[in-house]
Amino acid sequence: MANLNRILLCFILIFSAGCAATTGIYRDPDMDFEAIQAVAVMPFANLSRESTAAERVRDVFINKLLSTGAVYVLPTGEVARGVARAEIQNPPTPSPEEVIKLGGILKVQAVITGVVREYSEVRSGTTSANIVSVSLQMMETQTGKVVWTASSTKGGISIWDRLFGGGGKPMNIVTEKAVNDLIDRLFK
Amino acid sequence: MILLTDFLNRAALILLITVVLFSGCASAKGKLKEAYAGEGRFLIAVYPVENLSGTPAPIKEIRESFISKLKTQGFDVLDVEALEKFMARHRVRYTGGVDKAIAKAFKEETKTQGVLIISLELYSETNPPKIALTARLVSTGDDPGILWIDGIGQGGDDSPGILGLGLIEDPKALLQKVLQSLSDSLQNTMLSKRERMDIRGGKRKFRPKIAYRSPILDSSRKYTVVVAPFFNSSERKNAGEIMVLHFIRHLQEFENFNVIEPGIIRQELLTLRIIMDEGVSLSNADALFSTTGADLILSGRVMDYQDYQGIWGKPKVDFSALLIERKRREVVWSSDSHNEGDDGVFFFDWGRVNTAYAMASQMTRSIVARMVK
């Protein structure tokens, strides 16, 4: 029986090692998310080694959010103009005061900021696969309060990759999966 | 006796075909002249080739070959010396477009009716060679517009055929093939004054991966479009300019769009001192709408535009596009597209695309088709 438990534990560990996860979700219970009609997506912070990772993920996120038809997303050029006018020192991490000021300039109900934590290829022995890890937060522009946060990690080496190789999915597909996951959490 | 009769019959048939073909060529030249008989001769000035390839290329030879092909097809081409004098007089250094002042001066001073702008987007002599070119004819006078635009991107191994008999290993032969195709396209357009093509759909794999289309976009209306510079985040030099040309070419294929000559847009951006660090802001858009009279502004960002040299490798293109509408000051189209040359290829390289140009062309065509729906 003890042996069987060990085998089961081993299987669970192996399977869970390659699984993607959405963690750290917070939704303000007092916030009326349906009142949000327009949002500004700030430039994302980049903690990965790929220099264009933040731009790539932001681009995909903006397009995906617009394509839902649920909210209107301001063009990035307009957000940049608002950031310049509000004199925000560090656009990826604005202070609550700066968010309120930006909301007034851009006439949006919420501002979304993000961090790309991982955007690379991971290796394990001879196997490699792409991995993307993103965290987002939404701040409402009336009070500058954080009303929603979520993070998602997609890709990585799956059991299939370990057994049969294949190199995982292309980075664009993995990014879309991570963004889809985050948007699903936003409208949940 | 029977054999002799058979031979004579064949010879007569060949002679007949030759006569018919030659008479066709002669009438083609005649038709070209007739087509513009109302406006006198149709004189074209051929600008020096704009090299967007980011690599050294025989641009002088390309221009000369194009001019000789145009002359063979019956076009009148402005003398190179006269063009150089005109360019020096007006201090024309930018050869990727024509602004209003230059277009007017062309008409008044040289009686030129069209300016041919050739943009070289890829040139690789490494076997198999690869070449990509876009050319457009812009009218002169007070209101310059795009009369014709076409492009072609080819690799020497695009159609290898049985036992590799279709392989083109000589870059000069490939260049001649590309130039012939472009000059034929120009001639066909001018002769028939054909209506613009309306190609909808395209291959499924080239569709945008994420797309948003606002219901505000009216598929029955004709829009005037400004294609603003695309922001280039890729490692390929001039990828933004190349994407602009792809979009202009495919927007022009549809009756729903009238694209403003990019040379005019460039001049307006310089006059208005607009610098777009992160894309088009609404204030920039307002300024462009009011000065150009456009209904839509298209812009975007290029993330990847990769070609490869030699046999091994695959092209990669990744970009996003954004369309802003004048009245509502809103985004009416937004999309994200990415493809690699071997997408959807499973057997014997069937369906493989060898140049980023050919792939980007199909991707942009697919986007424009969905814009008009």
Residue B14 is predicted with a pLDDT of 53
Q: Distance between CA B206 and CA A160 in Å, rounded?
A: 28
Distance from CA of B303 to the nearest CA of A (A): 7
- Cβ B284–A77 below 8 Å, yes or no? yes
Distance from CA of A49 to the nearest CA of B (A): 16
Residue B269 is predicted with a pLDDT of 93
B93 CB-contact burial (10 Å; exposed 0-12 / middle 13-18 / buried 19+): exposed
Instruction: Using alpha carbons, select from A144, A102, A146, A112 the residue that is nearest to residue A39.
Output: A112
Distance from CA of B293 to the nearest CA of A (A): 21
Residue A8 has pLDDT above 60, yes or no: no
The confidence band for B24, taking pLDDT boundaries of 50, 70 and 90, is: very low
A99-108, B33-42, B209-218: which range is least confident on average? B33-42
For residues B182-193, give the mean pLDDT.
84
- Provide the Cα torsion B196, B215, A80, A154; round to 10°: -100
A55 contact residues in B (CB cutoff 8 A): 233, 301, 303
Residue B3 has pLDDT above 50, yes or no: no
Count of residues in chain B:
373
- Cβ B338–A172 below 8 Å, yes or no? yes
Inter-CA distances, B41 with A60, B83, B145, B330, Å: 51, 17, 19, 45
Tokens for B256?
């729903």
Q: Give which of B282, B323, B336 to mutate to test A binding, by max A Cβ within 10 Å.
A: B336
Residue A9 has pLDDT above 80, yes or no: no
User: Which three-class secondary structure state does DSSP give residue B151?
Assistant: strand
User: Which three-class secondary structure state does DSSP give residue B201?
Assistant: coil
Residue B84 is predicted with a pLDDT of 95
For residues B262-284, give the mean pLDDT.
90
Mean pLDDT for all residues in chain B:
87
For residues B58-84, give the mean pLDDT.
93
The confidence band for B333, taking pLDDT boundaries of 50, 70 and 90, is: very high
ipTM score of complex: 0.83
A62 contact residues in B (CB cutoff 8 A): 334
Distance from CA of A64 to the nearest CA of B (A): 6
Q: Distance between CA B307 and CA B317 in Å, rounded?
A: 9
Give me the percent of chain A exceeding a pLDDT of 90: 70
Instruction: Using alpha carbons, select from B148, B145, B364, B368 the residue that is nearest to residue B259.
Output: B145
Residue B352 is predicted with a pLDDT of 86
Instruction: Using alpha carbons, select from A176, A150, A186 the residue that is nearest to residue A24.
Output: A150
For residues B247-269, give the mean pLDDT.
94
- The 10s digit of each residue's pLDDT in A139-169 is 999 999 999 999 999 998 888 777 777 667 8
Residue B70 has pLDDT above 50, yes or no: yes
Residue B349 is predicted with a pLDDT of 76
For residues B205-232, give the mean pLDDT.
94
For residues A67-85, give the mean pLDDT.
94
- The 10s digit of each residue's pLDDT in A30-40 is 999 999 999 99
Q: Can you point out the beta strands (E) in chain B?
A: 43-46, 50-51, 76-77, 114-124, 130-139, 146-155, 210-213, 223-227, 231-232, 257-259, 296-306, 316-325, 330-340
A63-77, B133-147, B166-180, B192-206: which range is least confident on average? B192-206
A1-5, B296-300, B335-339: which range is least confident on average? A1-5
A76 contact residues in B (CB cutoff 8 A): 278-279
Residue B19 is predicted with a pLDDT of 46
Global pTM exceeds 0.95: no
CB burial readout A154-180, b (16+ within 10 A) else e: bbbbbeebbeeeeebbebbbbbbbbbb
Q: Distance between CA B300 and CA B309 in Å, rounded?
A: 27
Question: Residue B337 carries which DSSP code?
Answer: E
H helix runs in A69-170, sequence order: 76-86, 96-106, 159-164
